[in-house]
Structures are given as structure tokens and as C-alpha cells.
């Protein structure tokens, strides 16, 4: 008789991620969750970078986010979309990012917290 592997002894149960979200999150909840989405190049969250222009939630808890990038040629949109979906999982039923380019992003969009984070990693802002 062989000994059971440690992984055989684990009996994790995971919540049903296919069940629709019925509790309506607040805008503060959604904004706070978006702080988990970090720009992979600047290593600061998209909220404090000022990349999130708006968050909209419909009556069925489907979320649309107006967001921009530091550069229209940024190749990381897929990564940001994935990270956004993961950050909002369990809060909303679906997420769509509406990539917007006007007004263009500038350094003035960065929050004071974002500036501190950038300074901590060596940027002069």
C-alpha cells in the first residue's frame, strides 16, 4: 500500500464562481479593488496613476471601466484587462474596459499617493 501524497489529503472547496453576484458593491469598493491592478511597467496601481477615468455599474452588476494608458502604444492591455477581471471577481458579474484616449493621460493625473510610490522606486515626479 502506498502512502497518500500530501496533495491527496487536501480537500479544498472553492466558491462557485459561476453564481451571479447579487449584492451591489459601492463605487468605493470597486475603486479600492482596482488598486490591486498594477501597471506592470511603473509598478504603481492604475487608480493612483490616474489611469481610471470612470467606473460604471449597471443594474445587473456589470461593470464598465473607462481607462487609459500612459501611452497609446502600450503593449500591456491584455495584462491590465486580466488583472482588472481578477481584482473585480466576486464584486461584479462582468467587466469591460472601455479604452479611452481623450483626454490624454498626463503626469498631472497621478495622485499624491501615486507620486510617493513613484518616488520610492526612483522616479522624479
pLDDT of residue 3: 75
| Phi-psi category of residue 23: left, alpha or beta, with phi > 0 → left and psi -120 to 50 → alpha | beta
- The neighbour count for residue 60, using CB atoms within 10 Å, is 12
The pLDDT assigned to 1 comes to 63
pLDDT at 100: 95
Look at residue 18 in the predicted model and tell me its pLDDT.
67
pLDDT of residue 21: 77
Q: Which domains does the chain have, with CATH numbers?
A: 27-105 (3.30.300.130)
Map residue 100 onto helix, strand or coil.
coil
Q: For the chain, which residues score pLDDT lower than 70? A: 1, 6-7, 10-18
Q: How far is CA 72 from CA 22, 77, 103, in A?
A: 35, 10, 12
**Alpha carbon separation from 83 to 17, 24, 112 (Å, rounded):** 16, 21, 23
Residue 20 is predicted with a pLDDT of 81
Question: What local confidence, expressed as pLDDT, does residue 73 receive?
Answer: 86
For helices 77-88 and 27-34, angle between their N-to-C axes, nearest 10 degrees: 130
Amino acid at each position: 500500500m502506498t502512502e497518500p501524497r500530501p496533495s491527496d489529503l487536501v480537500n479544498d472547496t472553492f466558491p462557485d464562481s459561476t453564481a451571479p453576484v447579487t449584492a451591489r458593491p459601492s463605487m468605493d469598493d470597486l475603486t479600492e479593488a482596482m488598486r490591486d491592478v498594477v501597471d506592470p511597467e511603473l509598478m504603481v496601481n492604475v487608480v493612483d496613476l490616474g489611469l481610471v477615468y470612470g467606473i460604471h455599474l449597471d443594474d445587473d452588476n456589470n461593470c464598465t471601466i473607462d481607462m487609459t494608458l500612459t501611452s497609446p502604444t502600450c503593449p500591456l492591455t491584455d495584462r491590465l484587462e486580466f488583472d482588472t477581471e481578477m481584482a473585480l471577481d466576486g464584486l461584479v458579474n462582468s467587466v469591460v474596459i472601455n479604452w479611452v484616449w481623450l483626454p490624454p493621460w498626463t503626469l498631472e493625473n497621478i495622485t499624491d499617493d501615486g507620486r510617493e510610490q513613484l518616488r520610492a522606486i526612483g522616479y522624479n515626479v
